[in-house]
Amino acid sequence: MNAFIRKRVQNVRNDVLSGVTVALALVPEAVAFAFVAGVDPLVGLYAAFMIGLITSIFGGRPGMISGATGALAVVMVSLVSEGNAMGSEGENLGLYYLFLTVILMGIIQMLAGVLKLGKFVRLIPHPVMMGFVNGLAIVIFRSQLGMFPDLVSEETSFWSTPGTWFQEVFSNLEFWKMLGLVGLTMLIMWGLPKIKATKKLPEALISILVVAGIVIFSNLDVATVGSFIRDGGGEGLKGGFPVPVMETFSSIPLNFETFKFIFPYALILAAIGLIESLMTLNLIDDLTETRGNSNRECMAQGGANIITGLFGGMGGCAMIGQSIINIKGGGRGRLSGITAAVMLLMFILFASSYIEQVPIAALVGVMFMVVIGTFAWSSFRIMNKIPLADLIVLILVSALTVIFDLAIAVIAGVIVSALVFSWENAKRIRARKRVKEDGTKVYEIWGPLFFGSISAFNDKFDVKNDPDNVEIDFVESRVSDHSALEAIFVLVEKYQAAGKKITLKHLSEDCKVLLYKASPKFHQVIEEDIDDPRYHLAANPEKFPKSLSEYKF
């Protein structure tokens, strides 16, 4: 009992400390994504709070962090700009169109949960998963590079004036100070777990506090969260408790034209949000060796987006970077996500002046360590050990994630993997031929019969030169789809048109039902009374003995 209590207390401590670390990391991310989408920083911060809180309580993956994300923000840019163009100058209708779109996005995501579409994430192949992880690590890394000040001015070129270029590089103290603080943050995060006495301390939080303390007490002039917000056009981190934005429903017409405008955006945002969330869920499952509930996560993400749209947030989904920070920091339960969301709200309400003093360099250093931990370095080691098609899919998904977005990359990867699988299986169809004593020719079909293999299947038969009696034995084959049924139907018609008798044997029960529905003639073609134990076991797998005691010796 004491051991159980100690474990629970330790989990609570880890969840709380990890949640505080995540809350600090959420601030610049939410602000940055709000700037990307072209909305006020508080719109991103409110989204991070509400989505993070709701999904932590009701979601299907404890320990996963959700909030405003860049993958959604890049889609919202055109939505907001087009919405602003629909009204007069200064109306900012784009913001209200965004809120309405986020609400519709949430409804679509909840429908996906009701229809249990989340289970389809299990069909995503491992190369696609590795490509997603690698691509996302590169995207996170590139997003953090934008936090650094320019190394040289735009007018200076290395090729035209190399001397001036080197002079600007070595005299750019702002850049080198930030690089040094980023390196110090990473060094603390790397070294702290190696010290036995500090193994249980949250290295991300400690490194942020240490670097922030150095900057504040030494009065270093470096970029902070506050300066980052003001440089982007914001007035500061200070805000109030989120309240319903009723202007959304009074500022824009609720008619079919509005629906036609926002629906494509809502559908794209819902798809990107669910794919990123469910892929992150799978990744956290692997890291924690536990299993989340994908359909429940769809429902929670949808409900969270409906709420955040009503209360003036920009919508969001799971955040892989912050989720990994949480897991690496020991956050495993729902309390970690709840703590992160509540602390973020506390920062907005009461501690904005303190959070604004946190140097951007410390948060960039934490994210760089997340990149190192996220990237699947093993993909380099296995490049010459996996099939070429899988390697191409891995590289393709990584590249498309960087160039376009996660949804396009994953969909493309799944399609390519499915085509490769179909092609490989299409080549496995075989037909072993033999002639019985009575002159009947038997075709024994081996391999899956589906849309990809019907061409090879048809090539196996010689209708013109075959004898008058032909049997096709499907005991080692499986008829998979309508294309296969159609191929069998056409083949039977060809033999009958040639005046020859054809018999089909060992078809599966579901295939026979479909063929009987297609044409009554199959009652004379399909042989039902078959004394073959192999066929009965294949056709009725529920009749397999469940234990040795069921065998009759």
- The pLDDT value recorded for residue 37 is 78
Pairing state of beta strands 66-67 and 441-449? Answer: unpaired
- The pLDDT value recorded for residue 301 is 95
Q: Using one digit for the tens of pLDDT, what is the confidence trace for 24-77?
A: 888 877 877 787 777 888 888 999 999 999 999 999 999 999 998 877 887 888
Nearest to 186 by CA among 330, 375, 374, 371: 371
CA-to-CA dists, residue 452 to 421, 429, 457, angstroms? 10, 10, 10
**Pairwise CA distance, residues 472 & 433, whole Å:** 9
Q: Contact, 303 vs 102, CB < 8 A?
A: no
Nearest to 386 by CA among 130, 4, 172: 130
Q: Say whether pTM exceeds 0.85.
A: no
3-state SS class at 476: strand
pLDDT of 367 higher than 50:
yes
- The pLDDT value recorded for residue 197 is 64
3-state SS class at 61: coil
Q: Using one digit for the tens of pLDDT, what is the confidence trace for 89-142?
A: 767 788 999 999 999 999 999 999 999 888 777 778 888 888 888 887 887 788
Domain ranges, ordered by start, for the chain: 2-151+162-398, 428-548
Question: What is the CATH number that goes with domain 428-548?
Answer: 3.30.750.24
Q: Using one digit for the tens of pLDDT, what is the confidence trace for 192-207?
A: 888 866 666 667 778 8
**Pairwise CA distance, residues 444 & 475, whole Å:** 8
pLDDT of 303 higher than 90:
yes
Nearest to 319 by CA among 67, 118, 141, 138: 67
**Pairwise CA distance, residues 434 & 283, whole Å:** 51
